[in-house]
Structure 1
Amino acid sequence: MTLTPSSEADTLEALTPISSEEAADIETTAELDLAIPEEVPSADDSSSRVSARDGDGVGFTLDEFAALLSKYDYNFKPGDVVNGTVFALESKGAMIDIGAKTAAFMPLQEVSINRVEHLSDVLEPGEVREFFILSEENEDGQLTLSVRRIEYQRAWERVRQLQKEDATIYSEVFATNRGGALVRVEGLRGFIPGSHISTRKAKEELVADFLPLKFLEVDEERNRLVLSHRRALVERKMNRLEVGEVVLGTVRGIKPYGAFIDIGGVSGLLHISEISHEHIETPHTVLNVNDQMKVMIIDLDAERGRISLSTKALEPEPGDMLSDPQKVFDKAEEMAARYKQMLLEQAEDNEPMGVSLE
């Protein structure tokens, strides 16, 4: 590169050491250059605004600039969740400002996951919240919004979490049908099959009752939410029961495979093989509906909501349930204590032998 006389002089000057006095002068000059002027126009000072003539040399007009900005307008599409402001409540819905060219509309049926009679019950002008875009712009350039869809998605998320935690919830029965009872959970409609309703009330009398419930099925794709009242009661009862405990129960139903015994509001199964050491053709030969009897708990299955019972384990002699059931009930606690001792000994025999590392 060839240096011109002036550039050579500048280079030599830049390479020449400076004195401390000159350095101080340079610092002072820099501070003066960086100082903020006292008279600084404010952002809304008209004298500081750029006029249309000032943009003549920038390569495009203000109209072209506005057209360019319009290309970067919000691109709203169905499925998006956007913030909006409620600015008008009408008889059929609400007008929402989401920054689009035209105010968006939310129909009354999309205001909430729950039934709403009046918009003013759930919305008020000036309220800011999230909205779900349901559809493309109509011929008037207007979008359709929904709050119900957001609440619906979040309700399923919440229900899935409750199921994962195996939580017990309480819900009010709002209707019944031939198959069972209907409830609402987080705004979603849930169904309790008749076989999972554990109460002496008629189904029709359950309306407006709050029931403890456990989840049986949570399937958003099929829109199925199935719950169990029986399982919730069994779990609650199980927390106060233990294997080997003798309880008083009432026969509520008899099937070829066994009898269902009510023990304090929950049902346990006395299988035909657990009635006696002697062979039994059918439970009807030994038991009758409404019989009161002592039974011993031999298994608690909280996950399946089942309680297994036995009178065979309480027989002082094999066959006593057939020949003298009262003798079985009189000695029930004594025989249960022996049963517990037997379980304890079996557990000790099954413990692995300790290995010494010395």
Structure 2
Amino acid sequence: MASLAHQLAGGLRCPPLSNTHLSKPISTKHAVRPRTSAIVSAVAVNNAEFMERMKLKEMFEEAYERCRTAPTKGVPFTLGDFHAALDKYGFNSEMGTRVKGTVFWTDEIAALVDTTSKSSAYLPVEEACIYSIRHVEEAGIVPGVREEFVIIGENQEDDGLILSLKSIQYELAWERCRQLQAEDVVVKGKIVDANNGGVVVQVEGLLGFVPFSQISSKSEAEELLEKELPLKFVEVDEEQSRLVLSNRKAMADGQAQLGIGSVVVGTVESLKPYGAFIDIGGMNGLLHVSQISHDRVSDISTVLQPGDTLKVMILSHDRERGRVSLSTKKLEPTPGDMIRNPKLVFEKAEEMAQTFRQRIAQAEAMARQDMLKFQPEAAA
């Protein structure tokens, strides 16, 4: 600042008169007055510039001194005002506090969030969703999205907050499970693991446990992995992180809607020497080898294969034990059609089942009549 003022002041020196001005004799009659007038005019102009530059020099020096000694003098928003604003709109950064923020940057492993705190907040990918994801954008976390987060930590390097969406989603998932239990609703659960006592299922983003005693299927644990089961809630305890479910309870509801003689579509799950296990809408039924066809079947694999889709008729079901007996034998238009022409059996399934139900109804009516014949007549 001082050097600039010096340069400004230094440029105020008047230029010397050139020697050429003195090379000619000066006439006292004509030359003296014009020459004197020109010198006076030049000095007047230079004095005006000098005064202006001196004023600028003083302004620069005053500004320099003010910046050095009192930088906030004259500023209406003081440091005290700043602290008062912090107190009024104070940002609570305690662990577990919920804050709203706007995502402004993402990459594969994280997102940066503006929460109006002093530093950008950090959302790691493992805290972005209740489900396992590889990129935050898979959870809908993209620049511009505004969400509510919960504070779970602080970065020691820059005092930035560490946020989580997963914690909030867990709370909502537990609440959802409590509602489903209260309403006695059947849900779908995907089996993700198994142990000696049962299987681990994923329901509403949470991991629950289904004991083997509560599974209607007799399949091995390895056969159940990655499959979905209809389930009902038995216990929902968020404090103990206990989520217990039952496949048998869900099956009991489904079985209540299945009457003897009903035709359903099923998928062959597995083959055993004594029959085939058929999945009928999330419930396993047994198609015994003797109920496949009127003709003798010595090798089930010659008629059925795992993954085959077929129509079967309900012969009986045990709601308490969760067992269903099935038949294709009763659906054959003629004996042996299930072996020779299964397509015809499936086309005629409803018609044959209707005939079967009529025979059952007639047999029950005849049985009631026979019972009435042997009942003693009412006393007059």
Q: TM-score scaled by structure 1? A: 0.51
Query: How many Å separate the matches in 1 of 2:98 and 2:241?
Result: 22
Change (3 A) 1:306 1:166: farther
Deviations 1:33-92 (A, max 9, x none): xxxxxxxxxxxxxxxxxxx9696xxxxx63332232122332232222211111222454
Following superposition of structure 1 onto structure 2, how do residues 114-263 of structure 1 map, counting pairs within 5 Å? 114-122=131-139, 123-135=141-153, 138=156, 140-240=158-258
Distance in 2 (CA, whole Å) between partners of 1:165 and 1:336 is: 42
2-side partners of 1:200 and 1:211: how far apart? 13
Q: Is the 8 A contact 2:151 2:161 kept in 1?
A: yes
SS at match of 1:205: helix
Q: Deviations over 1:280-335 (max 9, x none)?
A: xxxxxxxxxxxxxx9999xx7xxxx678xxxxxxxxxxxxxxxxxxxxxxxx9579
- For residues 201 and 296 of structure 1, the distance between their equivalents in structure 2, rounded to whole angstroms, comes to 18
Correspondence 1:101 to 2:118: yes
Is 1:88 matched with 2:85? no
Please tell me whether the aligned partners of residues 214 and 246 of structure 2 are also in contact (alpha carbons under 8 angstroms).
Answer: yes
Larger radius of gyration: 2
1:153-207, Cα deviation, whole Å (9 max, x unpaired): 0000000000000000112222322222221111001111111111143221122
- The one-letter amino acid of 1:71's match is D
Match of 2:78 among 62, 71, 75: 62
Question: How far, CA to CA, are the matches of 1:145 and 1:266 in structure 2?
Answer: 45
Distance in structure 2 (CA, Å) of the matches to 1:189 and 1:160: 14
For the residues of structure 1 that align with 2:167 and 2:251, how far apart are their CA atoms?
33
DSSP-derived class of the 1:71 partner:
helix
Structure 2 gaps of 5+ residues are 1-72, 263-279, 286-314, 323-362, 373-380
**Alpha carbon RMSD of aligned pairs, Å?**
3.8
Partner of 1:199: helix, strand, or coil? coil
Is the alpha carbon distance of 1:337 and 1:220 closer, same or farther for their aligned partners in structure 2, counting shifts above 3 Å?
farther
Letter of the 2:96 counterpart:
G
Against the structure 1 CA distance between its residues 81 and 335, is the aligned structure 2 distance closer, same or farther, given a 3 Å change threshold? farther
Q: Equivalent residue of 2:216, what SS?
A: coil
Contact kept in structure 1, 2:148 and 2:165, CA below 8 Å: yes
Q: 1:70 to 1:229 in 2, by over 3 A?
A: same
One-letter amino acid of the counterpart of residue 195, structure 2: N
Q: What does residue 95 of structure 2 align with?
A: 78
Q: Specify whether residues 210 and 84 from structure 1 end up closer, same or farther in structure 2 by C-alpha distance, changes over 3 A only.
A: same
Query: What secondary structure is seen at the aligned counterpart in 1 of 2:170?
Result: helix
Contact 1:214/1:229 (8 A) holds in 2: yes
Determine which structure has the larger helix proportion and give its number: 2
Aligned CA distance change for structure 1 residues 112 and 54 (closer, same or farther; 3 Å): closer
Change (3 A) 1:137 1:117: closer
Check the 8 A contact 1:246/1:336 in 2, yes or no.
no
SS in 1 for 2:226: coil
When the two structures are aligned, how many residues end up with a matched partner? 213
Residue 238 of structure 1, CA deviation: 2.2
Instruction: Show structure 1 runs of 5+ residues with no match.
Output: 1-51, 56-60, 248-263, 268-293, 308-331, 342-358
Extract structure 1 runs of 4+ deviating beyond 6 A. 264-267, 294-297
Deviation at 1:239, TM superposition (A): 3.8
Matched position secondary structure for 1:158: helix
3-state secondary structure, aligned to 2:188: strand
State the SS of the aligned residue for 2:150.
strand
Question: What amino acid sits opposite 2:255 in the alignment?
Answer: K
Change (3 A) 1:295 1:53: closer
Which amino acid in 2 is paired with 1:160? R
Matches of 1:89 and 1:63, distance apart in 2: 34
Q: Are the equivalent residues in 1 in contact too, given 2:109–2:134 (CA < 8 A)?
A: no
- The residue number in structure 1 matching 2:303 is none
State the secondary structure of the residue aligned to 2:149.
strand
Pair 125,337 (structure 1): closer, same or farther in 2 beyond 3 Å? farther
SS of the aligned residue for 2:129 comes to: coil
